[in-house]
Amino acid sequence: MAIIVVLYNSALPKTKEQLKEKNRKLRKELGTVGSQYRENVWSVIKNLKKRYDEIKYDLMPGYEKLKRLIKSSTSDEVLEGCRVPEHKHSVQNKGGCCCNNNASIDNIYDAVAARYGQSGGTFGLLKNCAELAGYVTIPKMIREVTEMHKAEIADQNEELKHYIQCYDHMFERAHKRLSNLRHEYEKSKQQRPHNRYPRLKEMVKAVIEDKKLMPDGFDEFYDANSL
């Protein structure tokens, strides 16, 4: 005779208060990871773009400045800051992943589209605008749990986990971009300066034009065509 064993997970939140407490912790985690991304990664990319804009039309004087800018933007300290930070729902934890089996691991925006492609979700994703711009926003304003039913809070908790892991993939993407910039910079040393300078510009543009590294959606959008 077959015996059916039912496993009971006592840690599974059952009450609305437990779900609300989980929501509070997830919001805090999302805020922390987001702040780390802006401070350690986005600040470097913003500075790279700002300094590049100042010298991109210079001739040889800009060449030396650009070399120094690339080296400072790809230092060991910068690359270390681009590593995924340790936190509870990190993609580096066992089983943690922002993407499903049908989405590109390197593309968090494919992951978001795959997860919320048929609906706006609790956050009400700006799906159409995001598709036009080429990225998906991580919303700044999150609906308060006091306005929600228990099932809505549970849904929002899952979305918060998802956005936390999306930031992790942004860390990974930035680390890959800047590591590649450093690698290509070293390779380009074999070229003569008049050939190398435009090559260095193209390498920098590949980083600063990557809108998928931008946090929080449209607020810091810039016109890539002006680069």
pLDDT of residue 74: 98
Q: Average pLDDT of the chain?
A: 77
Q: Residue 25, SS3?
A: helix
- pTM of this structure: 0.74
DSSP state of 39: I
| CB atoms inside a 10 Å sphere around CB 84 | 19
Average pLDDT over residues 204-214: 93
Beta strands in 110-167 (DSSP E): none
C-alpha span between 132 and 130 (Å, rounded): 5
Please report which confidence band the pLDDT of residue 216 belongs to, taking 50, 70 and 90 as the band edges.
Answer: low
Average pLDDT over residues 155-166: 90
133-144 pLDDT, tens digit per residue, is 344 456 666 778
Under a CB-based contact definition with an 8 Å cutoff, are residues 191 and 184 in contact?
Answer: no
